[in-house]
Amino acid sequence: MKNTIAFILFASSMNTFAQTVVREFCEELPIDRTIRVAVSRFRSKTKVEQKYSLRRASRNIYDVFLNLEFKPARSYDGTPEERPRLNDFYRNRMNRCFKEFDVYLTDEHNRKIRLNIYNQEIHKLQEAPPLVRIKVEGGQHRSNSGAYERNIDCRTMIHEAFHLLGLVDEYEEKWMGYNHNFFSLGFRPYVDVDNQRVKPAFDCRAISPVESVMHNQRYLGTGQSVYSAHANMIIYPNCLQKNEKYISCAKFAYKTSFRNNNGAVALRDCAQRIPDYCKTNEWLRVDRLD
C-alpha cells in the first residue's frame, strides 16, 4: 500500500482489505474490493461528511452503500400508526428511488455510481457502512442531508444522498441571506431573501449547469446529472491529489463574502480567493484517472 492511503483501521491481509476504514483514499480500488469511508465534516476537505461503503463491481461500475436510519422529528405530523414503520418505509422508498434513476448517475467517462441502501442480509459486507441517522420532519421543512421533509420526492432524496458522498451544493442560494438591519448587532440572523434588506448567503459558491444533481435535482435525467469531478470525489474519497480542482472550488460552497455579510473587503474574503476556473461551467469536468 502506498502512503497516500490514510487508515483509521489497517487491514491485516488482502482478504480483509474489503473492510478497511479510510479517511482518505488515493489508490485505484481493485475490482470486487470494498472500502468503508468515514470522513467527518471536520476532517473533510469540502467540509461535507462522507459516510458510505464503496465497492468496485467492474471497471466502470461503483456500488455505493448507505446505512441510513430514519426517525421522526418533533415536527413529524404522521399518524401514530406510521411511526413504528417509518424507518422501513423510507429505506424501501429510497431504494426504489435509487433504482428508478440509476441510469442517469453516470459521468462523461461512462463511470456509473450505483446507489444502494445497505442491507446486511442482502449485501453481506462484513462491516456495515457508517450509520447515518436522518430525521423525518413534518410541515414545509426544507430537506437537508440529516433531515427530510415528510413528503420528500425521489430526486431530492438522491440529491441529499450525494451530500453523504462528500458533494457540495452547486446552486445560487436564494432562500437564505443576512439581515442588514443595524439592530442585528452582528448576529445577522437568516431571513427571507425576498426582503430587500437581505443579500444572499454563500455567494462564493461555484455554480454548475442546472442539470447537475447538485444544482437542481428537478432536472435529474434531462442532461448531464453526474460529472467526472463528482465521480472522482466518491471513488477517491477526501483525496486532495485526485480531487484538487473540485476541492479548490467546493471549499467555498458555504462561504459568504464580507460584502454580503456586512463586513469590509479583506484578503481573506472568499470573493477574492475563488479560482477563475470555478466561475466557468467546466469546473466539474476532469480527466479519467485510472
Helix (H, G, I), strand (E, B) or coil at 91: helix
Confidence at residue 79, expressed as pLDDT on a 0 to 100 scale:
86
Measure CA 283 to chain center. Answer: 17
The residues with which 217 forms a beta bridge, in sequence order, are none
Sequence ranges of the domains in the chain: 6-279
Instruction: Say whether pLDDT at 2 is over 50.
Output: no
pLDDT classification of 106: cutoffs 50, 70, 90:
very high
Mean of per-residue pLDDT scores for the chain = 87
Question: Number of helices (H) and strands (E), helices first, in the chain?
Answer: 6, 11
Q: For the chain, give the percent of residues with pLDDT over 70.
A: 84
More confident: 16 or 44: 44
Instruction: Report strand pairing: 6-9 vs 147-149.
Output: unpaired
What b-and-e string marks burial along 115-130, b requiring 16 or more CB atoms within 10 Å of the CB?
bbbbeeeebebeeebb
What confidence tens digit (pLDDT) does each residue in 254-263 have? Answer: 999 988 877 6
Instruction: Say whether pLDDT at 92 is over 90.
Output: yes
What confidence tens digit (pLDDT) does each residue in 256-286 have? Answer: 998 887 766 666 889 889 999 999 989 999 9
What number of residues does the chain have? 290
The residues with which 134 forms a beta bridge, in sequence order, are 70
Cell of 64: 455505493
**Is this model's pTM higher than 0.85 or not?**
yes
